[in-house]
Amino acid sequence: MAAEVPHVVIVGGGFAGMSAATGLSRAKVRITLVDRTNHHLFQPLLYQVATAGLAPSDIAEPIRSILAGQDNVHVRLANVTAVDLEARTVEVSTDDGTPESMAWDKLVIAAGARHSYFGNDAWAAHAPGLKTLGDALDIRRRVLSAFERAEWTTDPEEREALLTFVVVGAGPTGVELAGAIAELAQRTLKREYRSVDTTRAKVLLVEGTDAVLPTYTETLRIKAQRQLESIGVTVRLGTRVTDVIADGVALGDTFVPARTVLWAAGVQGSSLARTLGVQLDRAGRVPVQPDCSLADHRDVFVVGDLAAMTQADGSPVPGVSPAAMQMGQFVAKAIDRDLGGSERGAFRYVDRGSLATIGRSRAVADTMGLRFGGFTAWLTWVFVHIWFLVTFRNRIVVMTKWAWAWFTFERATRLVWAPRQRERR
């Protein structure tokens, strides 16, 4: 590859980073895309992996494989640990190698966000969040193990705590997780246990504000809550978590004994942002210019969940995957325009609507001026999600699994194994 063309380094292979890379497919640049994992993840379906509906490989695809046909991209499996704006380099490290510096002419930071415990990092051990495949498998292991242990404990209090599942945060992820766990307990596992009645499991959805799906319209918020309650989820609004320990959660003065607590509240920008030396917002995100660049650093872009952008009309760009994709595409075009000497223009987010699913065949949708709930919304959700899955093969496999699950209530991937456990030898 000729060294004369500009080197674009993209940090992160999520929706924003991948869109930036593919958007540059015809540009006269050489690109290095660096990610800690080897795969692009279809995050909207991650809760299905966490609740044993889909396998990791159904919603993930090797980044290399997606970009195989694009000759101007090098893919690298490594961690970007720091950005040096003055030297125009990033620090890159792998598990086994010594850290090295990589120089860039244009830098696209799409490192995403993690969940935030609002300063209570000790809660992380007892209340895992859901951002990566590793997180999803951890949650799956916890949920399924709780039922296993409930089946064999002789202590009734312990059994009740094992059969209590608390989901903190009623945004789309929390709503989807709570709905899926309720259905697992009510339907899928019902016939398989002998000592325990899984339908008596409690699923508690705790939300600090006064509504589920707080960013949705009021009609949908009410619909979503009613649907959650109809499949057995207990919704607690206006309730703040004040402590999380191994034995359960404190909700103000009430302590709820629960062995499984899942965290779906709040996000905070990747720690990489802190190495930029700029003022971050409260959620640790990087404020950007209307063209997604960093103030005073025209060649550095921040896109996706890590970017904090206020549009011309004063509204913030939301941290959702369509916005991340659109920002990635915009930045690719901006880099191309820089090379051609034309103006970048300003990014504008096009909102195509919101969808959230609640259990097996319920959902709420708010799209193209229409707001609807129930089965129609669910079907829309299924088609939209299958459509966006990365490859055609995955679409067929996921469609088969869903059709199967829908008719049988069976969940396809209920595996538990303990990698840490020592083998018998």
Give the chain's largest Cα–Cα span: 74
Cα 190 from Cα 192, distance rounded (Å): 6
Binding piece for its own copies, criterion CB under 8 A, among 140-148, 227-235, 316-324, 351-359: 140-148
Q: How far is the CB of 199 from its own copies (least distance, A)?
A: 15
Binder among 79, 209, 289, 367 for its own copies (CB under 8 A):
79
Interaction of residue 25 with its own copies, rule CB under 8 A: no
Site map 259..278 versus its own copies, x via CB under 8 A? ---------x-xxx------
Binder among 149, 240, 298, 333 for its own copies (CB under 8 A):
149
Whichever of 282 and 425 has its CB closer to its own copies, that residue is: 425
Interaction of residue 307 with its own copies, rule CB under 8 A: no
Whichever of 24 and 175 has its CB closer to its own copies, that residue is: 24
Interaction of residue 68 with its own copies, rule CB under 8 A: yes
Cα 287 from Cα 278, distance rounded (Å): 9
Whichever of 117 and 330 has its CB closer to its own copies, that residue is: 117
Q: How far is the CB of 407 from its own copies (least distance, A)?
A: 10
Beta bridge partners of 9: 32, 107
Interaction of residue 82 with its own copies, rule CB under 8 A: no
Q: How far is the CB of 134 from its own copies (least distance, A)?
A: 5
* Token pair belonging to 330: 């915009």
Whichever of 79 and 234 has its CB closer to its own copies, that residue is: 79
Binding to its own copies (CB under 8 A) within 352-411 occurs at 393, 396-397, 400-401, 404, 408, 410
The DSSP call for residue 129 is B
Whichever of 4 and 96 has its CB closer to its own copies, that residue is: 96
Cα 119 from Cα 128, distance rounded (Å): 15
Residues 88-92: contacts with CB under 8 Å, at least 24 apart: 88/299, 90/9, 90/11, 90/34, 92/34
Whichever of 330 and 402 has its CB closer to its own copies, that residue is: 402
Burial 356-374 (b: 16+ CB within 10 A, else e): bbbbbbbbbbbeeeebbbe
Element (H, E) at 20: helix 15-23
Q: How far is the CB of 314 from its own copies (least distance, A)?
A: 30
Binder among 65, 209, 234, 367 for its own copies (CB under 8 A):
65
Q: How far is the CB of 225 from its own copies (least distance, A)?
A: 32
* Token pair belonging to 331: 């930045």
Binding piece for its own copies, criterion CB under 8 A, among 131-139, 173-181, 237-245, 310-318: 131-139
Cα 281 from Cα 255, distance rounded (Å): 33
31 and 12 in contact (C-beta within 8 Å)? Answer: no
Interaction of residue 98 with its own copies, rule CB under 8 A: no
Binder among 7, 88, 106, 114 for its own copies (CB under 8 A):
114
- Which CA distances in Å does 37 have to 68, 132, 378? 16, 10, 31
* Token pair belonging to 252: 């103000």
Beta bridge partners of 90: 83, 102
Interaction of residue 143 with its own copies, rule CB under 8 A: no
Whichever of 345 and 404 has its CB closer to its own copies, that residue is: 404
Binding to its own copies (CB under 8 A) within 178-217 occurs at 189, 191-195
The catalytic site residues sit at: 176
Vertex 305 angle, CA 73 and 130, to 5°: 100
